[in-house]
């Protein structure tokens, strides 16, 4: 990870702390770092670059040896008191002692039993949301099965070039339909974070923040 990326993480962390209400230590923090090895390098370097309590969400679904990679990342996160959320694999999250698991929107309906297992074992659960319909789908029997949602893409992002974005207005519509706290994901930078002022978010999530 380069010095510019580390500086961007420090800047966005400071702005998120200023913009969003302080959270209790047992709650979800104001900042979630989504991993992308091609952009950031090895994710355990992230654990050295962020403040204690920050969440690192391991995306990188196609790693050749994801189990060992995740175990090494989990060890680094424990050493730095950083919270690890494992994307898309409840069994792996449980095996490495992760703080939580992230369920992509497309896997949600197929993962309900896994989500129940995760919650039964004390894992926190986040999910990806891209529409009002998806926001309603996380409720079963009047109860939300996830703890928080990552709503995206809020602004234009290099990760999904050319994809339509929600903007603050579209984000607000989804937040109104969500039964859980939420993070704004996608294109959040020091230049765009101010456009989220006043929205009922618990924080922001992203890869580059530049």
The CATH number for 58's domain is 3.20.20.70
Look at the block and give the residue holding tokens 């704004």: 184
- Give the Cα separation of 2 and 12 in Å (integer): 16
What sign has the CA pseudo-torsion 157, 126, 108, 170? negative
Q: What is the mean pLDDT of the chain?
A: 90
pTM score above 0.85: yes
Question: Structural domain tally of the chain?
Answer: 1
| pLDDT for the residue numbered 112 | 78
Q: What is the mean pLDDT of residues 81-101?
A: 96
Please write the tens of the pLDDT for every residue from 100-124: 999 988 666 667 788 888 889 999 9
Whether pLDDT at 130 is above 80: yes
Q: What is the mean pLDDT of residues 1-22?
A: 86
As a three-state string, the secondary structure of 90-132 is HHHHHHHCCCEEEECHHHCHHHHHHHHHHHHCCCEEEEEECCH
């Amino acid at each position: 990870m380069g010095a510019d990326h580390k500086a961007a993480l420090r800047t966005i962390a400071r702005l998120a702390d200023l913009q969003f209400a302080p959270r209790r230590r047992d709650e979800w923090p104001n900042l979630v770092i989504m991993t992308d090895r091609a952009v950031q390098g090895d994710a355990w370097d992230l654990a050295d670059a962020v403040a204690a309590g920050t969440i690192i969400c391991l995306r990188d679904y196609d790693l050749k040896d994801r189990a060992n990679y995740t175990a090494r990342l989990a060890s680094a996160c424990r050493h730095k008191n950083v919270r690890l959320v494992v994307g898309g694999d409840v069994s792996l999250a449980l095996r490495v002692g992760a703080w939580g698991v992230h369920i992509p929107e497309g896997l949600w309906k197929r993962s309900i039993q896994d989500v129940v297992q995760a919650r039964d074992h004390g894992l926190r659960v986040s999910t990806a949301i891209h529409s009002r319909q998806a926001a309603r789908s996380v409720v079963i029997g009047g109860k939300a099965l996830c703890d928080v949602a990552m709503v995206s893409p809020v602004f234009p992002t290099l990760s999904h070039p050319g994809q339509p974005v929600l903007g603050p207005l579209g984000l607000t519509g989804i937040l109104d339909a969500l039964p859980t706290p939420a993070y704004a994901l996608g294109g959040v930078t020091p230049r765009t974070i101010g456009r989220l002022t006043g929205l009922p978010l618990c924080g922001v999530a992203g890869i580059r923040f530049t």
